[in-house]
Structure formats: C-alpha cells, structure tokens
C-alpha cells in the first residue's frame, strides 16, 4: 500500500536540520554559489598539474562549436596528427563537415530501413518508439566514422569548410528529424497496406532525394574531386591535383581502418569480459562497417592504452564528461566536487551501478595524448578536447587516474600493439557479437557534447 508524506514527517525532517551544525554555512554557500562551486576542492588544481612522463605532441586543438560531433572531431584529430607531422602542416584539419554530410545522409537511409523492417510492430512498441524518438542525431561511434571513410573518403577542411548549420546543428537536426518522422510514417503505411517492395523502395528513394537536397542546401555539395594546395611550415608551396576523397585518405592518412578496434570497460553483469558486443539500431552505413565493442577488465583496458601511448600513438576514447568536471579549468577528477561533505550524504556508487541505473553513460569522445607514470603507475592523463582553445590548458584537459577508472568507458586501439589473446578474442567475437538493446549505455549515439 502506498504511503504519502505526512506533515508530521516534514516537521521531523525540519527539526533534524539542527542536528547538522554545518547546515547554515553549507546552505549559504550552496545558495550563493551553486552546488558545484560550493563543494569544489582546490586540491585538484594542485594534483592535476599538466606535466607528464609519456607525452605525444599534437599541436593546437579543434572546435566543434554548437554541435554534437565530438566523436567525429576526435577521430579525425587522431588522423590529422600524422599528416601534420609528416607534411609539416601545423594547424592542419580534416573536414568534419564533409563526414557530417555523409553521416546525416547515411543515417537517414539507416532509419528508413529500420522503420521498414519494424513496420509490423505498433508505434507504441518500445523499439519502434525508440526509433521515432530520435530518428538521427549528431552522435556516433568510431566504427561509424570508419564506415563513412571506407565509403566516401575524407577531404581537407579548406576543401569543404564549416557552415552555419554544421557549427550550430540544432536547426538542421530539427529539420531532418521532421523529414524522417514524416517519411517513416509514410513508409510504415505503405508496408502495412501490402504495397510491393518496389513501391516501398521508390518512396524511400523519393524521400532520400529530398533529404539530399536539404543537406546540400544546408551544408554544401560534397566534392568528388579536388586539388590539395598548401604551403608547409617552412614556406614551401605544394599542389596535388585531381584527388578524390578516397585517394586523399589513402595517400595522406594511409591507415588500414580494420586494424583499429573498439574496446570497452563495461563492468555490468550482462557483459562478460573478453566478449564482443554490438548494439541494435546503432549505425549509419547500411551494409558497411558495424559497431563492435570488445569488453575488457579495467586493468587490461588501461594497460593497453598506456602501451599505445608509449608506442607514440594517441588514443581515441569515450567517457562521461558530465561527472566530476570543471569545463573552464579543464579538470576531470572524482574529488573535484565534495558533495558528500556539503550534504552529509554518501554519493558513492560503483561503475556498474551507475551504468545499470542510468546515472552515467558515454556522452563525449576525446583523445588521450599523454599519461604521467609514477613508479610505473598512472596518476593523471592529458586529453585533447574539441571545445576550442579557451577552456583548460589551451583546450587540453587533465583527468585524474581515479576519474579514468570511474568514467572512461571506451577506447580505440591499434591491433599492431595488442597481445595475441586480445586480437583473437576480438576477431572471433566480431563474427557473432552479442547484441545489446538499443538503449544500452554502451550504445551511445550518446556522444553529444
């Protein structure tokens, strides 16, 4: 039987405030400065001094502005570093807007295909509701960017620059999602009316044509060929003519993307270690590379990241920046805000408890460029962010090792640096991955910051 809250109970709670002698001071501090400022520790700034024993120089940071393209920016940043170094191009960027265009277009087809395949289910079905709740967003995953590059290649930023709609994507997302919902309902009606596959496909092509036109109008038509013209840091002029986006990637980046795999640390009961997982309805390129995650224990997960840094290669990673962070100071630390003392309440939860309860999930991708090892153990990490050069240390952040343990969930590693048992577990598991539900916290089209 449900019980309401009585006024006597409220009076008891009011009387209990007197048992907390720090209450008046805490209340003044919280009400004047806000909870986080009132509970912020000054020691974190001392502990997270930006000095590191293992560090890779990556130059100036990028700025995703008012868009949720962190996964795209950070992935392209890992690729531009080698271009900057080899071709002496300080400040060089790859076009995030180019991959943004094709991601939006491919996600539209991905959504329509999922709508068609689920048309026999009612709109109130949880999975159908999930599809229509957010037909597409700016968020994505490493494997999804790989799928785009494998199909469309990449281009320099100056060949396909930013627009008002890529830098601030709210109106574009709203417009596209309206088109997708309307089109999705029309496709469902055709399927449920018993129309032929050809008729349904014809309607889908009509919708995609309208979406392509909208994207080209908002972002510009992506180039098929271009000239790569530049002066290097020594002032020497170069021009490489008649490149395609695919040939540019092959010549200037040259990575075999199959060698880069996603590993996660997801310590929940439904995710056994050393198994590979995929997520239902998570993807963009139909028939292209699918999202795959190999789940590893924290100690192994962390040691493999350290090893890659020692080999001179940065690491793309996914985390929850909504917890324990000071955006302006560029600090990430579990001890940054001492709310336990402010409210006399134990806020502690395990990593698994946060994931299971919705307290935490992946929401931001960045790049690890350094680690500080003391007695061969990590104490803090240097992070290349994509929020411009104003926050933190000229755009770089420092995270404590304790924050890493609690809020870092994913990393992308080069198979060349992995032990044989890890490579074997991934290669065997990706053939028949365990499928997670669309809303699983490791699914994360949630990269949105």
Cα 292 to Cα 290: distance, rounded to the nearest angstrom:
6
The answer to whether 89 and 402 have CB atoms below 8 angstroms apart is: no
- Choose, from 63, 70, 165, 363, the residue flagged as catalytic: 70
Active site residue 385: yes
- Choose, from 63, 177, 284, 385, the residue flagged as catalytic: 385
- Choose, from 81, 284, 295, 364, the residue flagged as catalytic: 364
Residue 120 neighbours by CB distance under 10 Å: 11
The answer to whether 324 and 433 have CB atoms below 8 angstroms apart is: no
How is residue 376 written in tokens?
Answer: 């061969």
DSSP letter assigned to residue 385: -
The answer to whether 297 and 265 have CB atoms below 8 angstroms apart is: yes
Active site residue 165: no
Centroid of chain to Cα 106: 18
Residue 386, burial from CB neighbour count under 10 angstroms (0-12, 13-18, 19+): buried
**Which stretches within 134-196 are classed as H helix?**
142-152, 164-167, 170-192
The answer to whether 61 and 395 have CB atoms below 8 angstroms apart is: yes
326 backbone dihedrals φ, ψ, rounded to 5°: -115, 105
Active site residue 70: yes
Cα 149 to Cα 170: distance, rounded to the nearest angstrom:
24
- Cβ contacts of residue 146 below 8 Å, gap of 6+? 257, 260, 289
443 backbone dihedrals φ, ψ, rounded to 5°: -75, -50
* Residues taking part in catalysis: 70, 364, 385
């Amino acid at each position: 039987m449900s019980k309401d809250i009585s006024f006597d109970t409220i009076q008891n709670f009011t009387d209990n405030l007197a048992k907390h002698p720090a209450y008046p001071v805490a209340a003044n501090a919280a009400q004047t400065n806000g909870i986080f400022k009132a509970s912020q520790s000054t020691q974190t700034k001392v502990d997270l001094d930006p000095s590191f024993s293992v560090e890779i120089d990556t130059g100036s940071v990028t700025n995703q502005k008012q868009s949720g393209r962190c996964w795209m920016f950070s992935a392209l940043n890992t690729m531009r570093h080698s271009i900057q170094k080899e071709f002496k191009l300080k400040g060089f960027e790859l076009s995030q807007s180019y991959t943004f265009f094709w991601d939006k277009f491919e996600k539209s087809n991905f959504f329509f295909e999922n709508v068609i395949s689920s048309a026999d289910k009612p709109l109130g079905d949880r999975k159908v509701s999930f599809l229509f709740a957010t037909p597409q967003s700016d968020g994505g995953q490493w494997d999804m960017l790989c799928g785009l590059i494998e199909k469309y290649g990449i281009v320099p930023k100056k060949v396909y620059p930013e627009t008002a709609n890529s830098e601030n994507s709210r109106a574009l997302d709203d417009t596209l999602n309206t088109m997708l919902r309307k089109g999705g309902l029309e496709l469902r009606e055709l399927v449920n009316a018993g129309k032929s596959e050809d008729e349904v496909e014809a309607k889908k092509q009509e919708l995609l044509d309208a979406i392509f036109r909208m994207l080209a109008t908002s972002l510009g038509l992506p180039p098929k060929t271009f000239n790569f013209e530049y002066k290097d840091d020594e002032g020497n002029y170069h021009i490489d003519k008649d490149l395609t986006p695919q040939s540019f990637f092959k010549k200037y980046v040259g990575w075999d993307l199959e060698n880069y795999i996603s590993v996660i640390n997801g310590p929940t009961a439904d995710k056994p270690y050393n198994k590979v997982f995929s997520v239902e309805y998570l993807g963009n390129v139909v028939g292209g590379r699918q999202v795959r995650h190999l789940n590893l224990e924290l100690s192994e997960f962390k040691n493999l990241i350290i090893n890659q840094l020692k080999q001179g290669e940065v690491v793309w990673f996914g985390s929850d920046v909504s917890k324990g962070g000071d955006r302006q100071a560029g600090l990430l630390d579990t001890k940054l805000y001492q709310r336990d003392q402010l409210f006399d309440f134990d806020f502690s939860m395990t990593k698994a408890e946060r994931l299971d309860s919705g307290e935490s999930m992946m929401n931001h991708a960045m790049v690890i460029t350094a680690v500080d090892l003391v007695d061969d153990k990590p104490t803090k990490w240097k992070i290349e962010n994509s929020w411009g050069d104003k926050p933190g240390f000229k755009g770089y952040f420092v995270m404590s090792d304790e924050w890493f343990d609690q809020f870092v969930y994913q990393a992308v590693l080069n198979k060349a640096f992995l032990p044989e048992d890890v490579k074997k577990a991934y290669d065997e598991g990706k053939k028949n991955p365990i499928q997670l539900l669309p809303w699983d916290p490791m699914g994360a089209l949630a990269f949105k910051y």
